[in-house]
């Protein structure tokens, strides 16, 4: 049944991804009434699938790449629904919904069997470490999408292509606030996640933990994240430069994710 729920979620995400296009691009409210319920229902089935998987395995966290990607896809959908409720916009769904489909479709139709066995430390702390970092990744991605939409909206305004009160994007100020607030939300998540992971690794691996280049790259990512928030907050960075800055940090985060997937630090052996 777990795969059935996840496959239903993928199908509903696909319906929402299609319905959000006329809803956002052509201001068709009835399509919005299809996109949002489909996304919400898909998120519910997605959550049920993940909960059943973890409950059946008697654990409280994802243990392989497929499960982690599926969890990230669910976080992106939750972010889309929060933005739709808070700012009355479905524009972010043009990007977030298809990506959520891609993240969930592989574990739904080609589930993996790789496992990562964690040491005998408190599982709750490991779960919190993973959840916080996933939230930081999702927040960074939302900020990148907001910056891209800001650039599109700014260009449309300069070219005077906006139809009176029927633009498919929120105002520039709203997009800027979404991007900056996403970064502000992600920073404490990333900071706490890295600190918890460092403490756990020191308890199980020792000081050699800090000799792993992939771990050092993670802390470099954290510094880049802080610098990006500082630059955006202090200089009022917007538009094209904000997109470039967000894209750079996002690529660094992707590199860290890929590196940590191959890191021995994140593949503990049973004692």
pLDDT tens sequence for the chain (271 residues):
788 999 999 999 999 999 998 888 777 888 999 999 999 999 999 999 998 888 887 666 666 677 888 888 999 999 999 999 998 888 888 888 988 988 888 788 766 544 444 444 456 677 788 888 888 888 888 888 887 888 888 777 777 655 544 566 788 888 878 887 888 888 888 888 887 877 777 666 666 666 666 677 777 777 777 777 777 666 666 666 666 777 777 777 777 766 666 555 555 443 4
Name residues whose C-beta falls within 8 Å of residue 244's C-beta, 6 or more positions apart in sequence: none
The whole-number pLDDT of residue 45 equals 95
The whole-number pLDDT of residue 248 equals 73
The whole-number pLDDT of residue 164 equals 46
Query: What is the extent of the structural domain holding 63?
Result: 1-115
The whole-number pLDDT of residue 117 equals 45
Please state, in angstroms and rounded to a whole number, the distance separating the CA atoms of residues 88 and 50. 28
Of 109, 74, 101, 102, the C-alpha closest to 3 is 109
Please state, in angstroms and rounded to a whole number, the distance separating the CA atoms of residues 180 and 1. 40
Overall domain count for the chain: 2
Q: Which domain-ending residue is among 59, 93, 115? A: 115
Q: What is the DSSP string of 233-268?
A: HHH---HHHHHHHHHHHHHHHHHHHHHHHT-GGGSP
Cβ atoms of residues 58 and 82 within 8 Å:
no
Same domain assignment for residues 137 and 256? yes
Same domain assignment for residues 176 and 199? yes
The whole-number pLDDT of residue 121 equals 47
Half-sphere exposure of 80 (CA within 13 A, CB side): 31
Same domain assignment for residues 208 and 234? yes
Torsion-angle region of 232 (φ positive above 0: left; ψ -120 to 50: alpha; else: beta) = alpha
Q: Which domain-ending residue is among 78, 100, 115? A: 115
Same domain assignment for residues 106 and 132? no
Same domain assignment for residues 267 and 250? yes
Same domain assignment for residues 94 and 134? no
Same domain assignment for residues 235 and 130? yes
The whole-number pLDDT of residue 209 equals 61
Same domain assignment for residues 150 and 88? no
Please state, in angstroms and rounded to a whole number, the distance separating the CA atoms of residues 257 and 251. 10
The whole-number pLDDT of residue 40 equals 97
């Amino acid at each position: 049944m777990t795969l059935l729920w996840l496959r239903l979620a993928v199908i509903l995400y696909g319906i929402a991804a299609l319905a959000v296009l006329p809803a956002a691009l052509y201001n068709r409210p009835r399509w919005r009434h299809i996109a949002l319920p489909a996304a919400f229902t898909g998120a519910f089935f997605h959550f049920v699938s993940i909960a059943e998987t973890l409950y059946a395995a008697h654990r409280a966290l994802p243990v392989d790449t497929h499960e982690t990607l599926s969890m990230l896809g669910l976080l992106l959908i939750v972010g889309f629904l929060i933005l739709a409720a808070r700012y009355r916009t479905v524009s972010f769904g043009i990007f977030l919904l298809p990506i959520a489909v891609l993240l969930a479709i592989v574990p739904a139709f080609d589930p993996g069997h790789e496992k990562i066995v964690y040491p005998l430390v408190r599982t709750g702390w490991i779960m919190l470490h993973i959840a916080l970092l996933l939230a930081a990744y999702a927040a960074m991605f939302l900020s990148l999408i907001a910056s891209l939409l800001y650039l599109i909206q700014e260009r449309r305004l300069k070219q005077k292509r906006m139809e009176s009160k029927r633009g498919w994007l929120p105002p520039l100020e709203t997009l800027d606030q979404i991007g900056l607030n996403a970064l502000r939300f992600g920073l404490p998540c990333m900071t706490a996640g890295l600190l918890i992971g460092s403490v756990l690794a020191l308890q199980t691996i020792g000081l050699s933990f800090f000799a792993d280049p992939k771990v050092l790259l993670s802390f470099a990512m954290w510094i880049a994240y802080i610098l990006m928030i500082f630059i955006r907050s202090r200089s009022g960075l917007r538009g094209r430069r904000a997109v470039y800055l967000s894209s750079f940090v996002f690529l660094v985060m992707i590199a860290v994710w890929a590196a940590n997937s191959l890191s021995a630090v994140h593949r503990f052996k049973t004692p």
